[in-house]
A and B are shown apart, each in its own frame.
Chain A
Amino acid sequence: MSTPLKFYQVGSFAVGNRLLAEGQLSEQSHPDRTNSLTSGHRACQGCGEALGARYALDAAMAATDGKIVAVNATGCLEVFSTPYPETSWRLPWLHSLFGNAAAVATGVAAALRAQGKSDIRVIAQGGDGGTVDIGFGPLSGMFERNDDVLYICYDNEAYMNTGVQRSGATPPAARTNTTHAVGTNPGASFTQGKNLPVIAMAHGIPYVATATVADLHDLEAKVKKAMTYRGARYLHILVPCPLGWGSRSEETIQLARMATECGLFPVFEAEYGEVITTKKIRRQVPVEKYLKPQKRFAHLFGTNGHPELLQAIQAIADKNITKYQLLEADAQEQDTSKESSRG
C-alpha cells in the first residue's frame, strides 16, 4: 500500500520526503493538515491513541473534503481530549456512553440520511474495551444492519482510562491490574480473546482492515479506501500505550512496528468477509524483541522467567504468519541483524 518507490532513502516508509511529488506525500506531511485532534490534549507522553486518532481522522477529513461527524465512546481518547469546557477536536464530535458509540453513530447516520445529507459521513470510535466488550452488542447490530458508519477501534489492549484492567483484547500473559503476574500462569490467561477484525469479517460487511501507528502510509490508505464504500466498515488500529504497557514513551511507534514484524499483530484488509491484502513482514523479529521492552511482560524474562509462555506466544505469532501468509520470500528483505538498536 505504500508508494512503490525504491532506491529513495526513505521513499516508502517515512512520513514524507522533500523529493517526493505532491501526490506521493502522506496527509500527515502537509503543513496544513486538519489536525483533527489538536495540541493541548491531556494524553500521556508518547500516547499511541492520540497519534492514531489524528492519523485516521485527518485522512478521513482529507477523503471527504472535511465532511465528517465523529461519535466517541468513553475512554482515554474522550477523556483526554474534552475536559469541560475545552476540546481538542476540530471536527463535529459527540460523546456517547462507554458502550453505545456504534448505536449513536447509527442514529447520526440515519438523521443525516433523513435530511438528505449523504455527503456527510459518520465515524464512530472507541477503545478496545468500548469496542470488543461493552460496546460489542451495538457494534454487531450496526454491522448486521450495514449502517453507513466507519467504526474505528483504537486498540491499546486494556481499559487504560480506568487504570489498566484486562479487556477481551488483552494479550495472553500480559500483566494488568486485574491479571496480576502471579502463580504458574502469570498475567492474562491464554484464551482465544475477542479477535474483533475476524468477528467483523464474519458479518460480511463491505470493508474490514487492521493497521498500526507504525505504518502511516498503510493506515491512511485504508482510511481513504474505507471512505469509498457505503455501509458498515471496521478499522482496528494497534496503538501502544506507554502507561499500560510499561514502555518508554519514545518507543510507541517502534513497539507497534515490532508487533507486526514478529507476527503477533497481522496487518491486512478484507472485503465482504474475504482477506484481500496482507502486509508482509519486512524484517522478521522473534516475539521476545517485541515483548521485552514492555514491563507488562517483565515476568516472562529473567531468572524467574517463563520461557514456556514465551514459546506459547511465539506459537501464536507463527500461527498468524501461516494463516495470513505474512512471509513472502521475494517481498521480504534480509534481516541484517546488524540493524541498529533503534531499528
Chain B
Amino acid sequence: MDKPFAITLNIGSSLANHTGSWRNERPVYVNRLPPCNDACPAGEDVQGWLYEGEAGNYEQAWRNLVRDNPLPAIMGRICYHPCQTACNRAELDEAVGINSVERFLGDEAIKQNWQFNVTAAPTGKRILIIGSGPSGLSAAYHLALKGHSVTIRESAAAPGGMMRYGIPAYRLPREILDAEISRIVNMGVVIECNTKVENAEATFGEGFDAVFLAIGAHLGKRAFIPAGDTARILDAVSVLHMTADGQPPMLGRRVVVYGGGNTALDAARTARRLGAYEAIVVYRRTQEKMPAHEVELKEALDEGIVMRWLSTVSRVDEGSVTIEKMALDEKGFPQPTGEFENLDADSVILALGQEVDLSVINGMTEVNVDDGVVEVDGFLMTGRRGLFAGGDAVPGERTATNAIGHGKHAARAINSWLQDQSFVHADRPDLASFDRLNTWYYSDAPKTVRPKLDAARRASNFSEVVQGLDAETAVFEARRCLSCGNCFGCDNCFGVCPDNAVIKIESGKYEINLDYCKGCGICANECPCGAIDMELERS
C-alpha cells in the first residue's frame, strides 16, 4: 500500500471492463450460396474452387471442382456457363470468366495426369448405366467414388454420347474427351461399347442392384416437307454423327439447314468445314426467339453462316429449296405470308430437335412417359423401383451440364436407395446477393478475353475455336472473383473493429470476442463479400 500522494487505487487495464454487455446485436460469420454455385446445373462449388485457384493451388482447385463435376476440361469448352450469367461481378464490371478458368484447370489436370482417388471400400453393389453420355459418365463417377461397381453399356462404338457424336470436334477436341473419359475408366468403371441394351427390365435379372437410364435423345425429329424424288434431305444428328465417325456425308457446295437450335448452327458450321461455300440457316422465328445460345450464333455469323429469320422450308427439290416468308401475329407467333422464294441448295439438313428412343423401356408399364420423355420423381427414380433416369431422356434443359448434374443426383439417390435410406435434399443456404457486397474494396479489372482464332482460319478446319488461358491470366481471372457470401481472408473485420473485438486466428479464420464487441456493425458493413450477419441478441 505504498502509493504516491493522493493515489488510492492500483493501475488497472480497461480489459476489466466488458463492454460486450452494451450489445444489442452480434456479428455472426456466415456462408451464403454464391449466385454462380446456385446457377451451376452440375452443382459446382465455383466460388470454392476459384478460391484455391486464386492462390495458384491448381490441383486443389481441380480437386474441389471434381467433387461435383468429373469433366472440367470438357465443361470448360462446351458449357453455356449459366454461372457467368448469374455472377455478381457482372454488376460491377464484367462477370468472372469462370468457364475459362475451369477449362484451364481441366487442361492442367490432363497435362499433369491427376487422377481420381477412390478411397471408399467396395460395397459389392453392382449398378448398370445405360448410355455413356455426360449423365451416364457423371453417375458412374459418383457411384464409383462410393465404392460401387459400375458397368456402362453403350450402343455406339465409342463412349461420350452427344459429346462425341453431336458436338463437333472444333468445339470439343476428341483427345480432351478421351482423356476425361479414361480417367473415369481408371476408377474401375467398365464401359462396354457396341452393346445396345434392348430391354431395361431384363438387366435386373442379370443381378444389377440398380439401373440408371442415360440414353439421351438421338432421333432427329422429322417434319413433312414436300420433296422431289432426287431431293437430298438429311438430319443434323446423322450428319454430325457420320462426321464424328470420320465418314462425312456428301453435302454439296450450297447447304440449307432448317432449325434454330445449337444443333442447326453446329450442322451449318460443320457443312462449311466440309467444303460448302454457302451455308444458310432457315428459322421460322426471329433472332430473339432463337433457342441457340448467343455466343454460338456470333461465332457462326463470324464464320460466314447466313441466317434467314422468319422463314420456313416449304418444298425441297434437286438443287433448290422453296422457303416461305413468315410474319409475326399479335401474339408473336409466326404466320405464313404466302410470299415464296427459291434458294439454291444441294442438300437440306433438318435440325428440328431430337426425340428419345424409348424402345429400351417397351413393355415396362410402371415407367411413365410423358411428351416423349421418361417421368421421374424428385430423386430421378422412375415408376419402376430401382430404375433411375436422367439427362436428355427426362424432362429438363437439354445441356451436357444439366446431364452431369442429373448423373450426380441420380448417383446420390441410388446410393441412398441401395442403403435403404430415405432420400434427403441438402439444405441450400440463403443466396449471397449483390446488395450484400461492399464493392468499394474490389479493384476494378477487365475480364481477360480469350483470344479467338481468326474466323476465316477457324472455318476451314476442325481445330479448336476458343483458346484457353495461360497460367498467369487464369490466376488473375480467378482473383476477380468477389467470393460472394464466403470469407476470403481479407482481414477487414479484424482491422476495422474500434474495440479490437475480432480475433484473427489466421488469415481467413476469425472469431468475435463477445466480451468486448459492442455490436456496432462496422465489421459486417465493411465485409466486402457479405459474410457477416448482425443478429439480434436475445434479451
Give the B-binding residues of A (Cβ under 8 A).
Answer: 5-19, 25-26, 28-29, 31, 35, 38-43, 45-48, 50-51, 54, 81, 84-88, 216, 242, 248-254, 257, 283, 333-334, 336, 338-343
Q: Are A10 and B443 in contact (CB under 8 A)?
A: yes
Quick one: which of B466-506 are within 8 Å of A by CB? 476, 479-483, 488-492, 494-501, 504-506
Knowing A9-B479, A17-B491, A343-B439, the reply to whether A249 touches B520 (Cβ < 8 A) is yes
Query: B455 at interface (Cβ–Cβ under 8 A)?
Result: no
Cα–Cα distance between A18 and B56 once the two chains are bound (Å): 12
| CB <8 Å contact, B14 and A41 | yes
Contact status A340-B501, CB under 8 Å: no
Determine whether B17 belongs to the interface, using a CB cutoff of 8 Å to chain A: yes
Is the CB–CB distance between A13 and B443 below 8 Å? yes
Contact of A13 among B10, B440, B507 (CB under 8 A): B440
Are A18 and B528 touching (Cβ within 8 A)? no
**Among candidates A10, A35, A45, residue contacting B500 with C-beta atoms closer than 8 Å:** A35
Knowing A9-B482, A252-B522 are in contact, say whether A18-B55 is a contact too (CB < 8 A): yes
Taken together as a complex, chains A and B put the C-alpha atoms of A19 and B478 apart, in Å, by 12
Contact A340 B439 (CB under 8 A): yes
Which residues of chain A are near B535, meaning CB under 8 Å? Answer: none
Q: How far is the CA of A38 from the CA of B366 in the complex (A)?
A: 71
A339 to B444, CA, bound (A): 12
Q: Is the CB of B479 within 8 A of A340?
A: no
B333 in the interface, Cβ–Cβ < 8 Å?
A: no
- Give, as a whole number of angstroms, the nearest-CB distance from B1 to chain A: 14
Contacts of B483 in A (CB 8 A): 9
Smallest CB gap from A16: residue in B: B491
Residues of chain A with a CB closer than 8 A to B19's CB: 39-42
Give the residue name and chain of the A residue nearest to B91 (CB): A338
Question: Which among B62-70, B394-402, B408-416, B430-438 touches the partner chain?
Answer: B430-438
Within 8 A of A (CB), among B1-17: 9-17
A270 to B96, CA, bound (A): 40
Contacts A15-B496, A250-B524 given; 9 further ones with Cβ under 8 A?
A: A6-B443, A8-B443, A9-B483, A16-B494, A28-B494, A249-B520, A257-B440, A336-B93, A342-B437
Q: Can you name 21 A-B residue pairings with CB atoms under 8 Å?
A: A9-B54, A10-B528, A14-B528, A16-B491, A16-B492, A16-B495, A29-B495, A38-B13, A39-B19, A40-B18, A84-B9, A87-B12, A87-B14, A88-B13, A250-B525, A334-B444, A336-B92, A340-B437, A340-B439, A342-B436, A342-B437
Q: How far is the CB of A39 from chain B (nearest CB, A)?
A: 4
Q: Are B12 and A29 touching (Cβ within 8 A)?
A: no
Query: Could you say which residues of chain A place their CB within 8 Å of the CB of B444?
Result: 333-334
Asked whether, in the complex, the Cβ of A250 is within 8 Å of the Cβ of B437, the reply is no
> Are A39 and B499 in contact (CB-based, < 8 A)?
yes
- Cβ distance B482 to chain A, nearest Cβ, rounded Å: 6
Q: Are A85 and B12 in contact (CB under 8 A)?
A: yes
Number of interface residues of B (CB under 8 A): 66
Q: Say yes or no: is B508 at the interface (Cβ < 8 Å to chain A).
A: yes
Taking a contact as CB atoms under 8 Å apart, the answer to whether B489 and A45 are in contact is no
Indicate whether A7 sits within 8 Å of B435 (C-beta atoms), given known contacts A18-B55, A42-B17: no
Q: Given A28-B495, A46-B522, A250-B522, does the pair A10, B92 have CB atoms closer than 8 Å?
A: no
Complex Cα distance A109/B436, Å? Answer: 49
Please pick, from B12, B439, B494, B522, the residue contacting A249 in the complex, using a CB distance under 8 A. B522
Nearest A residue to B14 by beta-carbon distance?
A40
CB of A53 to closest CB in B, whole Å:
9
Query: Given A6-B443, A28-B495: A87 and B13 within 8 A (CB)?
Result: yes
Instruction: List chain A residues, Cβ under 8 A from B319.
Output: none
Question: Is B442 close to A, CB under 8 A?
Answer: yes
- Which residues of A are found within 8 Å of B489, using beta-carbon distances? 16-18
A26, A39, A86, A257: the one contacting B12 at CB < 8 Å is A86
Which A-chain residue is minimally distant from B7 (CB atoms)? A85
Given contacts A10-B442, A40-B18, contact A16 B54 (CB under 8 A): no
Q: Are A47 and B443 in contact (CB under 8 A)?
A: no
A215 smallest CB distance to B (angstroms): 10
Docked CA distance A29–B102 (Å):
32
In the bound complex, residues from chain A placing their C-beta under 8 Å from that of B92 are: 336, 338-339
Q: Is the CB of B479 within 8 A of A87?
A: no
Is B435 a contact of A341 with CB atoms below 8 Å? yes
A88-B491 Cα distance, complex, nearest whole Å: 23
Bound-complex Cα distance A9 to B481 (A) = 6
Question: Please, which residues of chain A bring their CB within 8 A of the CB of B386?
Answer: none
B16, B443, B444 — most chain A CB neighbours (10 Å): B443
Check: B22 CB closer than 8 A to any chain A CB.
yes
Taking a contact as CB atoms under 8 Å apart, the answer to whether A339 and B439 are in contact is yes
Asked if A14 contacts B490 (CB within 8 A), the reply is yes
> Is the C-beta of B518 less than 8 angstroms from some C-beta in chain A?
yes
A42 to chain B: which residues have CB within 8 Å? Answer: 14, 17, 19
Contact A39 B501, CB 8 Å, known A16-B495, A29-B495? yes
Contacting residues, chain B, for A81 (C-beta < 8 A): 14
- Whether the Cβ atoms of A38 and B525 lie closer than 8 Å is no
List residues of chain A with CB within 8 A of the CB of B392: none
When the two chains form their complex, are residues B520 and A46 in contact, meaning their CB atoms are under 8 A apart? yes
The interface residues of chain B lying within 8 Å CB-to-CB of A334 are 444
Q: Which of chain A's residues has its CB closest to B93's CB?
A: A336
Give the residues in chain A near B437, CB-CB below 8 Å: 340, 342
- Minimum CB–CB distance for B28 against chain A, Å: 14
Chain A residues with CB under 8 A of B491 = 14-17, 25-26, 28-29
Shortest distance between the CB of A99 and any CB in chain B (Å): 23
Nearest residue, chain A, Cβ from B487: A18
Query: In the complex, what distance in Å separates the CA atom of A334 from the CA atom of B443?
Result: 11
Is B526 among interface residues, defined by CB-CB distance under 8 A? yes
0 or 1 for each of B48-66: is its CB under 8 Å from A? (1 = yes): 0000001100000000000
CB pair B14–A86 under 8 Å, yes or no, is yes
Task: Write out the residue numbers on chain B whose beta carbons fall within 8 Å of the beta carbon of A253.
Answer: 496, 522, 525-526
Inter-chain CA distance A28–B500, complex, in Å, is 10
Contact (Cβ within 8 A) A26 B495: yes
For A283, list chain B residues within 8 Å (CB): 440
B441 within 8 A of A: yes
Residues of the B chain whose Cβ atoms lie less than 8 Å from the Cβ of A9: 54, 441-443, 479-483, 488, 490, 528
Residues 240-267 of chain B, each 1 if its beta carbon lies under 8 Å from chain A, else 0: 0000000000000000000000000000
Tell me the bound Cα distance from A334 to B439 in angstroms.
13
> In the complex, what distance in Å separates the CA atom of A26 from the CA atom of B494?
11
Closest to A2 in B: B443
Specify which of A85, A333, A340 is in contact with B435 (CB 8 Å cutoff): A340
In the complex, which of the residues B92, B479, B534 has the most CB atoms of chain A within 10 Å of its own CB atom? Answer: B479
Q: A81 — nearest CB in chain B belongs to which residue?
A: B14
Cα distance, A257 to B492, chains bound together (Å) = 15
Cβ of B275 under 8 Å from chain A = no
Question: Using a CB-CB cutoff of 8 Å, which residues 505-524 of chain B contact chain A?
Answer: 505-508, 513, 515-516, 518-522, 524
